[in-house]
Amino acid sequence: MADLLIVDDDEDLSSLLAEVLEDRGHQVRVARDGRQGLWCVEQQKPDVVLLDVEMPVLDGPGMAYGLFISDLGRELIPIVLLSGAAQLARLAGRIGTPYFLSKPYPLEVLFDVLHRALTERSPPHAHHLLDQAAP
């Protein structure tokens, strides 16, 4: 149905999530950090990125910023922010995505959010991140 990219450093969580989503007919790839995630996007543009916040090497906001500045259409990929971080709503606001879920979440809610992201396809608008990155 859709090409999904999970970017999360928790192996169990991401492989379980991949299995569940594959069972629903999606094509799923998994990356362990933001840099791997950017590499996967370069290989093939996914329909939606399921993105964790805190990760080694390159964190979630860092990857969102990478997608945004590449300016090759990748900035238009909807991002679903999945995290246990406190103040998740604020983080999502900074990335500019309307799709975010606080861990742990009921599976049905995830399906619901994912469905919205796939149908509405609202791109993140990471202007705030850009403002912060500027000197």
Partner 1 sequence: MTALAATKGRVLVVDDELIVALDLQERLTQLGYSVVATVGTADEAVASASALKPELVLMDIRLKGGDGIDAAAAIRRERAIPIVFLTAFADDETVARAKRVRPDGYLIKPFEDRELQVVLELALFKHRAERDLAAREALFQTVLQSLGEAVVAIAADGTIQSFNPAAAALVGLEESAAVGRPAHEVLRFEGPPHELVLRDRLGSPRAIERTSRPLPIYEGLAGGEVLVLRDVSAARLEEARKSLTARVSDALAAASDEAGLIRAVAAQLASSVCDWCVIDLLGAGGAVAETAFAQAEAFRGPSRLGPLPVGRRHHQLTEVLLEPAAGSPLASALGLSAEDEDEAEAFSSRAVLSLPVPGSQGPLGKMSLGLRAPGRRLGVEAVGHLRDLAKRLGGALEKAQLYRATAAAVRSRDDVLAIVSHDLRNPLATIRIGLDALRASAAGADPSVSRKLTMMVRAAARMRRLIADLLDVATIDSGTLSFQSHRESLHGILQEVQESHAPQAKERGLEFAVSAPQDDLALHCDRERIEQALGNVIGNALKFTPPGGRVTLSAQVRPGEVELIVADTGIGISPDQLPRIFLRRWQAPHPGAPHLGSGLGLYITRGIVEGQGGRIWAESTPGKGTAFHLVLPAPSIDAGRDAASHAPS
Opening angle at CA 129, ends 127 and 130, nearest 5: 60
Minimal distance in Å, beta carbon 66 to partner 1?
A: 22
* E strands, the chain, in order: 3-7, 27-31, 48-51, 79-83, 99-102
Residue 38 or 92 having the CB closest to partner 1: 92
In this structure, the number of other CB atoms found within 10 A of the CB of residue 93 comes to 13
Residue with tokens 């990857």: 63
Minimal distance in Å, beta carbon 110 to partner 1?
A: 8
Residue 9 or 75 having the CB closest to partner 1: 9
List beta partners, residue 99: 80
- Asked if 66 and 39 touch (Cβ cutoff 8 Å), the reply is no
Minimal distance in Å, beta carbon 52 to partner 1?
A: 9
Minimal distance in Å, beta carbon 71 to partner 1?
A: 30
Binding footprint of partner 1 on the chain (CB under 8 A): 10, 12-13, 16-17, 19-20, 23, 54, 82-87, 89-90, 93, 102-108, 110
Residue 8 or 74 having the CB closest to partner 1: 8
